[in-house]
Amino acid sequence: MKTIQFREAICEAMSEEMRRDESVYLMGEEVAEYNGAYKASKGMLDEFGPKRVLDTPIAELGFAGIAVGSTMTGNRPIVEYMTFNFSLVGIDQIISNAAKIRQMSGGQFKCPIVFRGPTGSAGQLGATHSQAFESWFANTPGLKVVVPSNPYDAKGLLKAAIRDDDPVIFMESEQMYGDKGEVPEGEYIIPIGVADIKREGTDVTIVSFGKIIKEAYKAADELEKEGISCEIIDLRTVRPMDRKAIVESVKKTNRLVVLEEAWPFGNVATEITYLIQSEAFDYLDAPVVRINTADTPAAYSPVLMKEWLPDYTEVIKAVKKVLYK
C-alpha cells in the first residue's frame, strides 16, 4: 500500500484508464494547461497530449453536449466540472440526453460517460457554490451516482465508472482533495452499488456518504467513551443504492441515524427512511432520525455557515435520541 492524496487517487484512476483504453479522454475547464482547478489532472496533458486532455471554454452546456455526442461514435469521455454547481448550465445534456440515449434508441446506443467534480459546500463560497446535487441526479433513471469519501474508494470507484457503459455522476469535494489515505500499488476496482461498513457496531446504525461522513467518525469516537457502539455505513454509491447493507445493519442494531449534507426536503435520507419503514419497520426500536443542513441557501458568513452545516455534535444528539438517552 502507498499513501496518496485524494486528488492523486483521482489522477491515477483517470491516467490508468486512459493508458488502458484509447477511447477514454478528459475535457473540462483548466484540466490541461493548468493541471486541473484542484490539480486532479496534474501531468496528464504532458502524457496524453491535447487531443485527449482538452481545455474547454466556460460553456458547460456546449462541452457536455460534445462529450455526450462523442459516446455515440465510440468514445468514453470524462467531463470535469469545476464544481457541480456549474453542471446546472449543462444539466439538459445530462438528464435529457445522456440518461436517455440507451432507452430512446431502443438499446442501439450506449452512453459511457463520467461527469465528475466537487459537490456540496467548501467553506465560504456563498449560496450558489455550496449546493449538494446527489439527490437531484439520483432521481433520474439512467444515471448512476457515486460519492466517495476517501482516496481508496475514489480510485477504485472512478475506474469502475470509466469502464461502465452507462453515464455516471462522480461527485467529490474541494475539502477532500488534500486528504491522504492508503491505496494499493496494483490494479483494483470497486464495484458500483456496494456500500462499505467502515465501522462495526451494535447499538445504532449511522448511514452517510461523502465528506460529511467524517463527522460520523468523530461522533462514534466520542460515543464509544460512553459505551455506545455505532455501526457506520458509507454508501459510496447513492444510485444504485446498497439497500441490503442498510436493512441488514438496522436489523442488527434496531436504530438508524442518517447523516447527509443536503437540504432536508426530498433527499437521499428521505429515500433511506422510506426503505427502512417499508422493509425493516418491525426491527426498529425508535423512529429514524435524519440530520441535514438547514433548509435555506448556504450563507457566506462563517458564523451562519457553522450553524447551517451539521457537525459531530448533532450526530451525538441524534444517536442519544434514538437510544432514549
Give the catalytic positions in this structure: 60, 129
Candidates 60, 143, 48, 61; CA nearest to 102 is 143
Chain centroid to CA 302: 24
C-alpha dihedral sign at 139, 142, 147, 76: negative
Backbone angles phi, psi at 33, to 5 degrees: -60, -35
Element (H or E) spanning 272, and its range? helix 268-279
Q: Which three cell numbers stand for residue 40?
A: 486532479
Answer whether 119's CB lies under 8 Å from 127's CB: no
Vertex 319 angle, CA 295 and 322, to 5°: 95
Q: Is 312 helix (H, G, I), strand (E, B) or coil?
A: helix
Q: Is 139 helix (H, G, I), strand (E, B) or coil?
A: coil
Q: Which three cell numbers stand for residue 240?
A: 444504485
Q: Which three cell numbers stand for residue 131?
A: 449546493
Element (H or E) spanning 157, and its range? helix 151-163
d(CA 283, CA 86): 42
d(CA 318, CA 219): 10
